[in-house]
């Protein structure tokens, strides 16, 4: 007989009474559980001395160097302790609630943010007996900023526009500039039609721009037709470009998310303790540095990702589509509205033992989120190029919590280190590790503990995450 329970109903994983604080409801035979989605709004208030922070800043990125991999590993050890106390798992029916409480406690004690919890229902799928199939096989579950550029080469590009249409059609200017930035241009100079005596002052921006739509980050200038002819006639000419400009987008929200749950089969320290611990430590480090973002930062620890991205889907459904459930009216998300979210950064698996540094391909995003997603991709690529770390671009099609955002027009991106896919011989040459072996041999298994973490990979990827969190607030 199904029954409603209180949010703190003591239950054991097998249904026997147990004194454990839980954030989920239980229905005896229906196995439907109440999960928590943590939405934490960073406000940058207060100063807290969080250990000894590095003061060295070799290349002008102090926040990145202040992030401590040791403290991230301490969070992972706590996650493992929670899993060991809950049937070696942090899944929605085991240790997820305790993991959520740990994150809440850390943020309330040491962070600088308002903590909000969203509740939603999640069906829990269980295999009571091994499946029988004649052919052997597994059972499936459910079924434009300023710049100072020196001595830059000049490339004359004809993208199909005539000189007259460049000066006349604002949309063409916007699309051409965005395309050239994507191709790696450091600056764009438009040559105006001969019938115009002065350079163009057209907006290099989508006319009906809204939050989440792209903005240029490289300088875009205009010259008269006569100046353009001189530039085109000088073979091998090099230019200096200096601009002192800034684009501000006040009241935008950057969402930084990682899923907190594991699969039922294991403790999930890499998948995704590594991402959620890094996200937690980024917030705590920014608090310790008294960092005050230009725009709002929202940190989210999603529930039920392993059951179909249910936590992030619930968040998007409520905010983007106005969906209601029995908790919606009584719960808040810190005043965040869907229209305020400029982009989503997603961190899912940052410490795979045989890792490859992977950056999500923004081109895979739907058209209404593609340009911004490509911009996010370039920020991550800049981090790896700056450090001379090898990396690869990987697809962004499904499988993690970025999906509900790009599906609803919010640009998204992230980094990861790989799951059960095999490393090729060529990838071994480029990235090290072992060829013909999975990137994570313990993916979704009971051996996904702290010894499954590649510390070097975790250090690189968590700092890449910190690097991506910071620059958006100057735009």
Among 181, 305, 306, 427, the active-site one is: 305
Asked, as a colleague might, if the bond just before 258 is cis with ω within 30 of 0, I would say no
- CA 326 and chain centroid, separation: 29
Q: Which residues of 290-315 are buried (b: 16+ CB within 10 A; e: fewer)?
A: ebebebbbbbbbbbbbbbebbbbbbb
Cβ–Cβ under 8 Å, residues 447 and 266: yes
Cβ–Cβ under 8 Å, residues 342 and 251: no
Cβ–Cβ under 8 Å, residues 107 and 280: yes
Q: Which of helix, strand or coil describes residue 151? A: strand
Q: Which of helix, strand or coil describes residue 215? A: coil
Within 8 A by CB and 6+ apart from 274, the residues are: 72, 76, 349, 350, 351, 417, 453, 458, 461, 462
Tokens 């249910």 correspond to what residue?
310
Q: Which of helix, strand or coil describes residue 412? A: strand
C-alpha 9/C-alpha 5 separation (Å) is 6
User: What are the residue ranges of helices labelled H in 234-321?
Assistant: 275-288, 310-321
C-alpha 293/C-alpha 188 separation (Å) is 29
Q: Which of helix, strand or coil describes residue 302? A: strand
Of 237, 223, 238, 236, which is closest to residue 163 (Cα–Cα)?
Answer: 223
Q: Is 305 a catalytic residue?
A: yes
Tokens of residue 20, six digits:
């454990």
Q: Which of helix, strand or coil describes residue 129? A: coil
C-alpha 134/C-alpha 96 separation (Å) is 36
Tokens of residue 413, six digits:
């991106």
What residues act catalytically? 305
């Amino acid at each position: 007989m199904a029954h409603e329970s209180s949010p703190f109903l003591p239950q054991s994983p097998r249904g026997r009474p147990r004194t454990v604080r839980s954030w989920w409801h239980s229905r005896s035979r229906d196995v439907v559980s109440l999960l928590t989605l943590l939405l934490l709004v960073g406000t940058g208030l207060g100063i807290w001395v969080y250990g000894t922070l590095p003061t060295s800043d070799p290349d002008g990125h102090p926040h990145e160097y202040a992030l401590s991999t040791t403290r991230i590993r301490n969070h992972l050890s706590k996650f493992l302790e929670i899993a060991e106390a809950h049937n070696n798992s942090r899944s929605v029916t085991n240790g997820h609630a305790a993991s959520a409480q740990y994150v809440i406690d850390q943020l309330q004690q040491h962070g600088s943010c308002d903590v909000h919890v969203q509740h939603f229902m999640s069906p829990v799928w269980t295999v009571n007996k091994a499946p029988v199939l004649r052919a052997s096989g597994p059972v499936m579950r459910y079924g434009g900023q300023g710049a100072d550029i020196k001595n830059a080469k000049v490339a004359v590009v004809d993208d199909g526009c005539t000189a007259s249409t460049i000066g006349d059609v604002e949309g063409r200017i916007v699309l051409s500039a965005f395309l050239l930035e994507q191709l790696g241009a450091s600056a764009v100079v438009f040559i105006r039609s001969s019938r115009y005596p002065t350079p163009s002052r057209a907006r290099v921006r989508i006319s009906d721009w809204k939050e989440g739509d792209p903005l240029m980050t490289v300088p875009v200038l205009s010259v008269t037709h006569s100046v353009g002819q001189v530039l085109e006639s000088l073979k091998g000419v090099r230019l200096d470009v200096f601009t002192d400009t800034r684009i501000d987008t006040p009241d935008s929200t950057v969402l930084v998310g990682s899923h907190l749950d594991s699969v039922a089969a294991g403790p999930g320290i890499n998948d995704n303790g590594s991402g959620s611990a890094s996200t937690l430590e980024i917030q705590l480090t920014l608090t310790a540095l008294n960092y005050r973002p230009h725009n709002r930062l929202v940190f989210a620890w999603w529930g039920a990702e392993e059951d179909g991205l249910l936590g992030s889907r619930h968040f998007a459904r409520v905010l983007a589509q106005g969906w209601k459930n029995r908790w919606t009216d009584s719960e808040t998300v810190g005043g965040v509205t869907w229209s305020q979210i400029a982009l989503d950064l997603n961190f899912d698996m940052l410490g795979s033992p045989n890792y490859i540094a992977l950056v999500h391909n923004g081109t895979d995003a739907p058209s209404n989120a593609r340009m911004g997603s490509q911009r996010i991709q370039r920020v991550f690529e800049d981090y790896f190029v700056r450090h001379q770390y090898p990396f690869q671009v990987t697809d962004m099609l499904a499988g993690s919590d970025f999906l509900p955002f790009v599906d609803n027009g919010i640009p998204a991106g992230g980094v990861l280190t790989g799951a059960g896919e095999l490393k090729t011989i060529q990838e071994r040459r480029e990235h090290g590790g072992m060829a013909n072996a999975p990137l994570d041999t313990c993916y979704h298994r009971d051996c996904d503990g702290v010894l499954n973490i590649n510390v070097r990979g975790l250090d690189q990827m968590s700092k890449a995450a910190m690097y991506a969190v910071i620059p958006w607030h100057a735009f």
